[in-house]
């Protein structure tokens, strides 16, 4: 059986942030038959002006809201029948996490758990989730691996070793994503980005 996933309606969290915005600016014009719904709380990291080139596109919708707001997330799943989640929303930056660690736990851990559970409920049919019909992409960070050692590189086998509230919260979100994949069969893809460069 093929496991190729073809998105139809994509929930993008944190799409006004740097990485999410670049994703949307590339994907919305490239895939006019795919609907993109951008859920963003517009914190210090979000800039809606970045998205001006696509804000009137027929296949793009912006929703101002928090991914940790369970009622809001559930309403969006009920309304849009998402086939795909691209989860960029996160509190980031180590220094900010030292000043306000609970904000990082709320967004990165509770927000991720909220999305995962909404997807699980929406996508489970007769006790199973179709891995071809649905997919959840979780954008993580190399910070979860801790300090770069003597090898000069991390890989998929590097143990998690977070040392800040930021990296610990992202490690926690990873473990939730893996748990939902293993427990419920939620089809997930996880990336551990290093430094990202590009427009904005």
State the catalytic residues.
142-143, 166
Residues pairing with 190 in the sheet? 138
What is d(CA 97, CA 153) in angstroms, rounded to the nearest whole number? 24
The answer for 187, left when phi > 0, alpha when psi is -120 to 50, beta otherwise, is beta
What is d(CA 32, CA 87) in angstroms, rounded to the nearest whole number? 20
* DSSP 8-state assignment for residue 52: G
Query: With b meaning 16 or more CB within 10 Å and e meaning fewer, what string describes 23-36?
Result: bbbebbeeeeebbb
Report the half-sphere exposure of 39 (CA within 13 A, side-chain side). 27
The answer for 38, left when phi > 0, alpha when psi is -120 to 50, beta otherwise, is beta
What is d(CA 179, CA 172) in angstroms, rounded to the nearest whole number? 11
């Amino acid at each position: 059986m093929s496991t190729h996933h073809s998105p139809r309606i994509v929930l993008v969290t944190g799409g006004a942030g740097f990485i999410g915005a670049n994703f949307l600016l590339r994907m919305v014009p490239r895939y006019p038959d795919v609907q993109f719904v951008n859920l963003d709380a517009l914190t210090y990291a979000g800039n809606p002006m970045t998205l001006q080139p696509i804000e009137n596109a027929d296949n793009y919708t912006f929703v101002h809201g928090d991914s940790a707001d369970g009622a809001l997330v559930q309403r969006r799943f009920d309304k849009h029948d998402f086939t795909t989640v691209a989860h960029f929303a996160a509190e980031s930056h180590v220094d900010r996490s030292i000043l306000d660690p609970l904000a990082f736990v709320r967004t990165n851990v509770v927000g991720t758990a909220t999305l995962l559970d909404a997807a699980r409920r929406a996508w489970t049919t007769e006790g199973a989730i179709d891995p071809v019909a649905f997919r959840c992409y979780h954008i993580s960070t190399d910070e979860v691996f801790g300090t770069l050692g003597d090898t000069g590189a991390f890989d998929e086998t590097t143990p998690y070793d977070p040392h800040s509230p930021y990296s610990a919260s992202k490690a926690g979100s990873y473990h939730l994503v893996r748990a939902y994949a293993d427990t419920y069969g939620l089809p997930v893809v996880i990336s551990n980005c290093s430094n990202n460069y590009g427009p904005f």
